[in-house]
Structure 1
């Protein structure tokens, strides 16, 4: 079985390509502070599966396409 690693740089780049700030992501996710998102994007807090699916949808990817963010 292959271990998949979330590619945080790809996540960050996709957000930037979509011209979304971290603050935009926080609002879209319904979270309270930018640090909640920032800690996930920089890897200091793990991104849960449900969170990743929500983030992917905001970035234009379906649940089935979430694998794009893994190496």
Structure 2
């Protein structure tokens, strides 16, 4: 006989405390990357976001890539 979450047989994947911790961690990561792009664009944009995230998307879309692009 299988139990469902409504019957109390299964534990939730994330507890409310776990969800708050996960949300806080994701928010901190987002804020660190945003602050890094604004304060140190040469490190965050030119050396991380553009070559590893932005550039490959442009290449897959068939758009021209510009090296050393800075915001």
| TM-score (normalizing by structure 1) | 0.31
- Whichever structure has more helix as a proportion of its residues is 2
| TM-score (normalizing by structure 2) | 0.31
- Does 1 or 2 have the higher relative contact order (CA < 8 Å, sep 6+)? 1
